[in-house]
Amino acid sequence: MARSNRTRMLALAGALTTALATITLASAPAQAADCRAPQGESCVRITNATQQVRSLRENRNGRCLTGIEPGQTREWPNISFNYWRHHLALTGYTGRNCEGNTQFNAWDGQWNGPDSRNYYFMTIRNR
């Protein structure tokens, strides 16, 4: 009988250890992506403080920046620009894939940076 109680206690301790490890890993922040900008350029990070914008189109080559839900910050390590040579302008959309019929212009933001990780960053807000 003593052996079965000991076995149950060990099993319980093992389950608790596994649960704590899972919680710790799940709550750890995702590692930020390294900027892969060419020499003289910086990557893009945007914080979305609007309730409407869900995608952005950058003016330089028309790429749609997706995955920027309200309240989130998103980095694009593959999109870069030289702030002094070609200012990156963005168009906002309420749709998640830059659908033309969802264009939303009642927001603004200002580029800052680059930061120590070589990202220009902007917080977009409603006007």
pLDDT of the residue at 16: 42
pLDDT digits (tens, 9 = 90+) for 72-110: 999 999 999 999 888 889 999 999 999 999 999 999 999
CA-to-CA distance for 83 and 40, rounded, in angstroms? 9
Q: What's the rounded Cα separation, in Å, for the pair 126 and 66? A: 18
d(C-alpha 127, C-alpha 49), whole Å: 11
27 confidence band (pLDDT: 50, 70, 90): very low
pLDDT at 117: 97
* Domain parsing of the chain, residue ranges: 1-30, 42-126
